[in-house]
Amino acid sequence: MLLSQKMRSLAVAAFFSCIAITLANQRESVCCKEVSTSKLTAPITGFMVHQARPPCVKAVIFFTAEGAVCSHWKEKWVMEKVIELRQIQAKEKNKKINTTTSAKL
């Protein structure tokens, strides 16, 4: 019984590791050669700041259900959205830390 629980835990860990690696590779492979200044209407599921490495230009890449969108990093709405998303990430991180800490008590 104990062995099967360990095997199940290892299988779950391997599964989530594969998903994380796949997502990381997808996000790394995005190269913005041009950027948009238009405000997005699709719901944003994530973002990353992409530094300029020719031929790629500096941009904020927003991930939506419709795909990745390269946005100009100096646009006011882009800066505001990045701040908003970082605040949400910080709250989620604190929520996880508090839940973990509470569970140990």
Averaged in consecutive runs of 10 residues, what is the pLDDT profile of the chain (105 residues)?
70 58 58 95 94 95 95 97 94 77 58
The model's pTM: 0.62
pLDDT at 92: 87
For residue 81, the model assigns a pLDDT of: 96
Amino acid at 82: V
Task: Identify which of 52, 48, 49, 47 has the alpha carbon closest to the alpha carbon of residue 33.
Answer: 52
Kindly report the CATH number that applies to the domain delimited by 31-104: 2.40.50.40
Q: Which H or E element spans position 102? A: helix 76-104
Q: What are residue 48's DSSP bridge partners? A: 61
